[in-house]
Amino acid sequence: MCGLMNQSNTEIDMLKNAAGIISLLVIFCGCAIQQTVIPVGKFESKEVCIIENPSVRAGFIEAYRRTLQNKGYSVRQIPATSSITECPITSTYSANWHWDLATYMAYAEIKVYRDGRPAGEAKYDTHRGGGNLGKFINADNKIVELVNQLFPEGQGNPID
């Protein structure tokens, strides 16, 4: 009888271990921060027009503009009502912040257009990274990283 009990307890322990491993996998697979960048090609023009987005914190466009200027681009901010065909090279951006023990940039997206057609895109998304502590980053440095990957020519300066 004791031999049967030991076997059952062993099987139960194995099932508990398997359930624990599966639970951890589900938790960690659901905690992914996604970042994708499709770099722009080489532009003849060194001017980039950025369409202002008043719903995004001012610090975002400041970091974006500064990084482009450090890379040798001339930047012109144009009103939110402007079209993506306003300039030969035009960019839009969006970002939002969330609270989870601290405020962090949860989402950022920068799109670049050449003559009104998509030329490149950078996206950072923590929405699936609920339990991932990697979401607590310096937003300015993340913007610099995204812009450097989006515009691979030259290097922008990191923010300290």
| pTM score of the predicted model | 0.74
Hey, what's the torsion of the CAs at 21, 26, 30, 36, to 10 degrees?
Answer: 70
Q: Residue 19 phi/psi, 5° resolution?
A: -65, -40
CA 119 to chain centre: 18
DSSP state of 136: -
Whether pLDDT at 36 is above 60: yes
The two beta strands, 47-51 and 34-38, are: unpaired
66-101 per-position pLDDT tens digit: 999 999 999 999 999 999 999 999 999 999 977 777
